[in-house]
Amino acid sequence: MKAWNGRFRTRLDPAALKFSSSLAVDKRLYKEDIEGSIAHVEMLARKGIIPTRDGRKIKRALRGIEREIGKGKFSLDAKMNNRERFVAEDVHMAIEKKLIEKVGEIGGKLHTARSRNDQIALDERLYLRRSISIVCGLILQFQKRILTEAERNIDVIMPGYTHLQHAQPILLAHHLLAYVSMVERDRERFIDCLRRVSRSPLGAGALAGTSFPIDRNMTARKLGFNAVLENSIDAVSDRDVQIEFLSACAMTMMHLSRFAEELILWSSHEWNFVEIGDAFTTGSSIMPQKKNPDIAELIRGKTGRVYGDLMALLTVMKGLPLAYNRDLQEDKEPLFDACDTVTDCLSMFSSMLKTTRFNARRFERMSDFLLATEVADYLVRKGLPFRKAHAIAGTIVRDCLAKNISLEELPLKSYQHYSKLFGKDLRQILNIRSSLLQKKSIGSTSPREVRKLLIRWKKTCDR
Ligand code: ARG
């Protein structure tokens, strides 16, 4: 049975049906689909478009179908029926077919004043709404995990990098908190997208609306939406909120990937800053010394797929004339893939971080030459223009490197050889910890600022 048997003499070529069926992918929308159908049928009955009794029967049967699918009693697999070898075109048709099997002809009334075009647009918005709340919860969990690590390592000093070169000493906690800020903006992007997701396309019909006296606001309210999408053509033809969601996913993955990359570098023998727990690393079958950060690498690698998902949907949409085109069916795979990937990666990252140990001694030992800027600033405070001070400090660093000694090891006499402005008080700034204490600006790496931020984040994350 097909929904358009009346018009057609021959049925769709079986290979063409298989080619065009989305059931294998969109079956995971069955709950959303049934939720939307129940709201629709309640409205139809309330408005007297179908008899209340029929509405009630349909609703009960839909709930039954949902339970059966949940328990695996009714499978939404492509082969619906051995005799007919019917391949349902999509989740909507599969459920409707089942409904008619259960309640007979009246099941056909469910689709009054509705099209699969507004139906799928609705299902995806319900799916997005749920996914956004899951992803935001995982971001929060990830932030809390980072905060725990930052607090545990609150005194650890490390070299801050620019160009992957040692730049200035910073607190490890400060470095970690940078990621908390980044993913907070990701969370905001998801929440912001939710505002636009929360509008109901139901009732737009195929594209032009319907002459039945439906109440779009009623179904929107029942489904917990803030409003209806007011232009019926727009409601069935755009996928911009899906693209927004994918773009927020891509951005989140980009942040996770940078963090993963640092953990990968930091786990190497050369850095030796961190050790990721055995449960999240793998060994080598031939090189016994190896401990590979595979999970972090996979998070970095999967970022590429999510970028691909975003690009795929942007490309599908480009050049589509209004309103619905079957091309739109291709939105689901990238959407589900990105959502699965970002949720998996967020929870994997949190678990992996929990097992990661930060090597405080090594961090601090690597903080040599980080005081060059302090030396320059010292000269500035003594009245030298910054450019000049910078040049002098640079020469000192070069000479120390040649002698293989650190800035702290160079005697004051030698400093005075470069500039008469160096005095006894130089010793105070040639100490990494006191150099951190000297930082005053908001958001700087001074222990006071970092602690303040940490406390603020802990409050925010306990909301
Ligand atoms: N499976 C379809 C999709 O995902 C549902 C809408 C079908 N509409 C149509 N006019 N063929 O886009």
- For ligand 1, atom 10, the nearest C-alpha belongs to 117
Ligand 1 centroid distance, CA of 326 (Å): 6
Q: Would you say 31 and 130 are in contact if contact means Cβ atoms under 8 Å apart?
A: no
Mutate to test the pocket of ligand 1, among 2, 17, 90, 317 (most ligand atoms within 8 A of CB): 90
- For ligand 1, atom 12, the nearest C-alpha belongs to 329
Partners of 18 in beta bridges? none
Q: Mean pLDDT, the chain, as a whole number?
A: 93
- For ligand 1, atom 4, the nearest C-alpha belongs to 329
Mutate to test the pocket of ligand 1, among 7, 239, 329, 333 (most ligand atoms within 8 A of CB): 329
User: Is the previous residue joined to 323 through a cis bond, with omega within 30 degrees of 0?
Assistant: yes
CA 418/CA 159 separation, integer angstroms: 26
Q: Please report the atom of ligand 1 found closest to the CA of residue 206.
A: 10
Among the listed residues 99, 69, 77, 66, the one whose alpha carbon sits nearest the alpha carbon of residue 24: 77
- In tens digits, the chain (463 residues) has pLDDT values of 566 667 787 888 888 988 999 999 999 999 999 999 999 999 999 999 999 999 999 999 999 999 999 999 888 875 545 444 456 899 999 999 999 999 999 999 999 999 999 999 999 999 999 999 999 999 999 999 999 999 999 999 999 999 999 888 999 999 999 999 999 999 999 999 999 999 999 999 999 999 999 999 999 999 999 999 999 999 999 999 999 999 999 999 999 999 999 999 999 999 999 999 999 999 877 777 788 999 999 999 999 999 999 999 999 999 999 999 999 999 999 999 999 999 999 999 999 999 999 999 888 777 766 788 889 999 999 999 999 999 999 999 899 888 888 888 899 999 999 999 999 999 888 888 888 888 999 999 999 999 999 999 999 999 7
pLDDT at 79: 59
Ligand 1 centroid distance, CA of 90 (Å): 8
pLDDT at 80: 47
Beta-strand relationship, 274-275 and 357-358: antiparallel
Ligand 1 centroid distance, CA of 327 (Å): 9
- For ligand 1, atom 11, the nearest C-alpha belongs to 326
> Is 181 assigned a catalytic role?
no
Mutate to test the pocket of ligand 1, among 25, 89, 96, 116 (most ligand atoms within 8 A of CB): 116
Ligand 1 centroid distance, CA of 145 (Å): 42
Which residue matches tokens 């010292």?
A: 378
Q: Six-digit token pair at 408?
A: 């702290």
Q: What are phi and psi of 163, to 5 degrees?
A: 55, 25
Q: Please report the atom of ligand 1 found closest to the CA of residue 116.
A: 6
pLDDT tens digit sequence for 174-217: 999 999 999 999 999 999 999 999 999 999 999 999 999 999 99
pLDDT at 65: 97
Name every protein residue with a CB atom under 6 angstroms from any ligand 1 atom: 22, 26, 90, 116-117, 120, 324, 326, 328-329
Catalytic residue among 75, 284, 417, 434: 284
CA 305/CA 359 separation, integer angstroms: 32
Q: Which domains, from first to last, does the chain contain?
A: 5-112 (1.10.275.10), 117-163+172-212+223-365 (1.20.200.10), 372-461 (1.10.40.30)
Among the listed residues 245, 149, 197, 177, the one whose alpha carbon sits nearest the alpha carbon of residue 460: 177
Catalytic residue among 163, 211, 285, 441: 163
Ligand 1 centroid distance, CA of 417 (Å): 80
Beta-strand relationship, 165-171 and 157-162: antiparallel
The three-state DSSP-derived secondary structure of 3-59 is: CCCCCCCCCCCHHHHHHHCCHHHHHHHHHHHHHHHHHHHHHHHHCCCCCHHHHHHHH
CA 264/CA 275 separation, integer angstroms: 10
Ligand 1 centroid distance, CA of 21 (Å): 9
Q: Would you say 63 and 38 are in contact if contact means Cβ atoms under 8 Å apart?
A: yes
Q: Please report the atom of ligand 1 found closest to the CA of residue 89.
A: 1
Q: Please report the atom of ligand 1 found closest to the CA of residue 115.
A: 8
Taking the whole predicted model, whether its pTM rises above 0.85 is answered as: yes
Q: Report the b/e string of 49-58 with b at 16+ CB within 10 A.
A: bbeeebbebb
Mutate to test the pocket of ligand 1, among 4, 19, 117 (most ligand atoms within 8 A of CB): 117
Which residue matches tokens 């903080």?
A: 367
| Length of the chain, in residues | 463
> Is 247 assigned a catalytic role?
no
Q: Would you say 312 and 304 are in contact if contact means Cβ atoms under 8 Å apart?
A: no
Q: Report the b/e string of 99-134 with b at 16+ CB within 10 A.
A: bbebbeebbebbbebbbbbbbbbbbbbbbbbebbee
pLDDT at 350: 98
Ligand 1 centroid distance, CA of 150 (Å): 49
pLDDT tens digit sequence for 1-53: 566 667 787 888 888 988 999 999 999 999 999 999 999 999 999 999 999 99
CA 8 and chain centroid, separation = 45
Torsion of CA 22, 24, 28, 34, to 10 degrees: 60
Q: Would you say 374 and 430 are in contact if contact means Cβ atoms under 8 Å apart?
A: yes
- For ligand 1, atom 2, the nearest C-alpha belongs to 329
- For ligand 1, atom 5, the nearest C-alpha belongs to 116
Ligand 1 centroid distance, CA of 400 (Å): 71
